[in-house]
Amino acid sequence: MDHNKLALPVGTTLDRFIMRKQEDFPYATGELSQLLRDIALAAKIVNREINRSGLIDIAGAYGSQNVQGEDQQKLDVIANIRFIRALRNGGEVCTIISEEDDEMIQTGNNQGKYVVAIDPLDGSSNIDVNVSIGTIFSIYRRVSPTGREGTAADCLQPGTHQVAAGYVIYGSSTMLVYTTGNGVNGFTYEHSLGEFFLSHPDIITPKTGNIYSINEGSSDSFSPGVAAFVQHCKDQQFSARYIGSLVADFHRNLLKGGIYVYPATAKNKSGKLRLMYECNPLAFIVEQAGGKSSNGTRRTMEIEPKIPHERCPFFIGSKELVEKAESFIATDTEACDHKLAPEPTPKKAVAAK
């Protein structure tokens, strides 16, 4: 009898995978690896809190609003505390920008080489109805000298400067998906062992798909180009799938193919989603998986941020679908350019000789 069959391998843990991949970074000395472990630890703790939310009084509204003017849920506050505490105690991060805090958060780790932008709990209003929610994070190398607090310049870097990004989805299973610029890998949490195990190696998103994800409740204020693209999806008999948790919608489309759209509307003229800790990290992931991300007219990661909580329109998913959306959006731009173009100067009549 083959004794190995009595104890089959359980797989590659996240910690072991990170250690093996550290050689991808010629400048790395272990700080980034430790930082990713710190995020994974906080994710485990938040996962525990979410699983207990129906048993203890941590669900529902907290009674205040965040910097976005959105009602904070109790779990928003808890997740924010957990991640900030883990990043501060880990020692690798000098500064954090979080969806839940107005100002940059200085960790006191002035020797830290990294800056983190994070949405601690995306879609938290869905927690009371047991819908998948998530965490989104983005990691940058600081550009200011070490030995002092992080600066605005450290936090306001374009997405092309990200060294790592990822998300955690808390659903029927809990998964951590991340990239360091060398492909995308997903890890599923095994509760009894308390470890993330590699379950989705080298994720590649389909080039196209038949799913479109958009809140059609705002359709009356879509631009003509966005409205035309949505109609195109219907004409092609695509399936409409919109959960209302960005991480959940993105995760499904990443694996199955499709497009997620949150455009500018009359209510949110600059879009609703935040560039630094929602759009950029998911854009980095989707590009590494072979997809595309855009604000409708340009690559998401090339947008130069001006403020930490900057918003932007968001079109992300399968490359062919995003490019199709951009082609419809271009009609808006052309129409606008036409309206703004000066009237041609009438030619003077040429006197008859």
Ligand-binding site membership of 225 (annotated): no
Q: Which residues contact 155 (CB under 8 A, 6 or more apart)?
A: 95, 97, 104, 115, 117, 140, 276, 308
Ligand-binding site membership of 121 (annotated): yes
Ligand-binding site membership of 272 (annotated): yes
The structure tokens listed for 78 are: 């808890």
Ligand-binding site membership of 210 (annotated): no
Residue 321 contacts residue 259 (beta carbons within 8 Å): yes
Residue 257 contacts residue 317 (beta carbons within 8 Å): yes
Ligand-binding site membership of 24 (annotated): no
Ligand-binding site membership of 323 (annotated): no
Ligand-binding site membership of 128 (annotated): no
Q: How far apart are CA 195 and CA 276, in angstroms?
A: 28
Which of 251, 314, 277, 44 lies closest to 139 in space, CA to CA? 277
Q: How far apart are CA 230 and CA 240, in angstroms?
A: 10
Ligand-binding site membership of 57 (annotated): no
- Helix/strand/coil percent split, the chain, to 5: 40, 25, 40
| Distance between start and end Cα atoms, the chain | 111
Q: How far apart are CA 261 and CA 211, in angstroms?
A: 11
Which DSSP letter does residue 12 get? Answer: -
Ligand-binding site membership of 215 (annotated): yes
Q: What angle do CA 73, 76, 77 make, to 5 degrees?
A: 100
- Binding residues, as ranges, are 99, 119, 121-125, 215, 242, 272, 278
Per the annotation, binding residues for substrate are: 122-125, 215, 242, 272
* Binding residue positions for Mg(2+): 99, 119, 121-122, 278
